[in-house]
Structure 1
């Protein structure tokens, strides 16, 4: 994940990862996004205002997604991901091409005004 993310993209991605895996450490997240733990701390402070996450200090500490929270978080594909899948779909035949197009239809960002 060493790609350059904007702060917004990094925070959304972190929220998705935490909702899926329920826990991570500041160091793991900093390494994953190639930023400082101070940046991750600022991201977590921001996200904790709007999302069901919290932090805990100590040996078993880290960043946690509240387990009792119902998780309906769904992220859409980034434009680059969408473009790559469209290129791959063009090279496929029959059922595989249709399956990939179905994935694109479900997970692509909604297009406004189209």
Structure 2
């Protein structure tokens, strides 16, 4: 990783990585985030309270995310993706705008206080 992330940011990134690849190891995550394996284990312990993450020891061990629950994780649009969809919807007919707005409502990041 280029920039040093906060614990919160690192934990979110771990969730996103697990959602994408389904499994990894503490060694791989420690190397990727430039932190110790102990830090990764603390992150996984924390995430385990809120996400369907589990660990396995041994030859085929690692850090995993439950396959069924992967489908239910919310992944949000980036700010650039959201802006692009809004810009594109300006030139669409009402039906297409309706569908774009549904996508934006489902996948846009929640805005607190706006």
Instruction: Give the TM-score normalised by structure 1.
Output: 0.68
The residue aligned with 1:4 is 4
Deviations along 1:1-55, one digit per CA (max 9) or x if unpaired, are 2311110111111011112211000010001111000100010111111110110
Instruction: Give the TM-score normalised by structure 2.
Output: 0.68
Unaligned runs of 5+ in 1: 90-96
Query: Does the 8 A contact of 2:22 with 2:64 survive in 1?
Result: yes
**Aligned residue pairs, count:** 98
Query: Does the 8 A contact of 1:23 with 1:63 survive in 2?
Result: yes
Alignment of 1:2-81 (within 5 A): 2-76=2-76
Alignment of 1:71-110 (within 5 A): 71-76=71-76, 82=79, 85=80, 98=88, 106=104, 109-110=109-110
Unaligned runs of 5+ in 2: 90-99
Q: Over aligned residue pairs, what C-alpha RMSD do you find?
A: 2.8
Query: Does the 8 A contact of 2:19 with 2:70 survive in 1?
Result: no
The alignment partner of 1:109 has SS state of coil
